[in-house]
Chain A
Amino acid sequence: MESKSVTKKGKVQTSQMTFGQKIWRNRTLLFMCLPAIVFFIAFSYAPLPGIWVAFVKYNYRDGIFGSKFVGMQNFEFLAQSGKLLQLTKNTILYNLAFIILGNLVAVVMAILLNEMQSKIFKKVSQTMMFLPYFISQVLVGLLVFNLLNYDTGFVNTILVKLGMEPWGPYSDKGVWPVLLVIIHLWQTTGYNSVVYFASICGIDEEIVEAARVDGANGWQKIWYIILPSLKPTVVILLLFALGGIVKGNFGLFYNVVGTNPLLYDTTDIIETYVYRATMTDFNFSTASAVGLYQSIIGFLMVMITNFIVKKIEPDYSLF
């Protein structure tokens, strides 16, 4: 209060306000943020001390902080399996494919949607693309099995009717990277394209108008206006996605591949391995240790990518 300086326009300069004044001034905005803030405190920050469980031999009665400290013992299991590298590799490669192809296809779809003239067709196709996102992974797994299984699958029934050899993807590990990426794209493209479609809608009509006056054709409009304006969205979504790059899509892999060891070489990710290996022994501590390992790598990935983005295009970096 004492150092209140007034500018020519009569407004208090932000830099000189006290913390309380800033809060008071932005009370409406802050109030609107409140649910999100509460959400993150309750579900992200408050449970943070629980990370400790990864370093103890957890005992129900003693609780997380009363249990015996065992150091890195819970991490040994991952290292001992001798599979950590392969699992991490699988997880990261799949996620890279999902992220890159997923965003690419989504951008293309969003642009195509934007260029459609018929409103009805646009809405219908958007909805059709959107629907798979809401199908439970369990059902997706069943669906895929009914399409592809050897004896009674839809695909094989057709192949046999056409006089061709039946196809056995469930005993052929080579085809799964492709299949899984296709399934994933089928599920998520609709959702992702809406995000991009929204930001295309956010492009200032005047710029497009001006380009048209200057004689830009459809391609030029896409190349010089739409794509550059999508760049920040792409970068931010990429940054978010990279944070989770060592977190596999358990639902998809577990339900589609199941527990078929013939396919593990190409389909086993950290989540599915840990699930199988620890289901028998129900060990909270080991599971948390794995989670922590994934989070740390995720954190590093975000920091590194953010750093790189900042070097190239400071405006697009997250922080």
Chain B
Amino acid sequence: MVTTKKTKSGTASKVDVKSPCELGSIDCKVLQIGETEYRTTLTKKFENRKFYKPADPKMILSYIPGTILKIFVKEGKKMEEGEAILILEAMKMRNIVTIPVAGKLKKIYVKEGETIPKNFLIAEVE
């Protein structure tokens, strides 16, 4: 069986395919390079690789792990580009997280005092 995963760039790469292989006991898969399908094994790192997703400016993610120190605004507020939403304290620094585009702040996903990892969804712009 062949499964094809479409990547965002539109190129198809075939992964996670079990298929017979001439090496008896070894569980071989198919890896497409260029237009040739090779029978081979895959590494953990390759199988766990993240597929590229273009950034969505309306979804505000934490760019560093840390603690939410103070939230300045309430959900539903209309904001200008660059206005402060909250303070994210990380590595002993108080980082002001601002809104990257003008718009209504649809939802805030964090509370004051909450510790969040990197790339955590903090807030969403409508």
Bound together: no
Chain B residues at the A interface, C-beta cutoff of 8 Å: none
Chain A residues at the B interface, C-beta cutoff of 8 Å: none
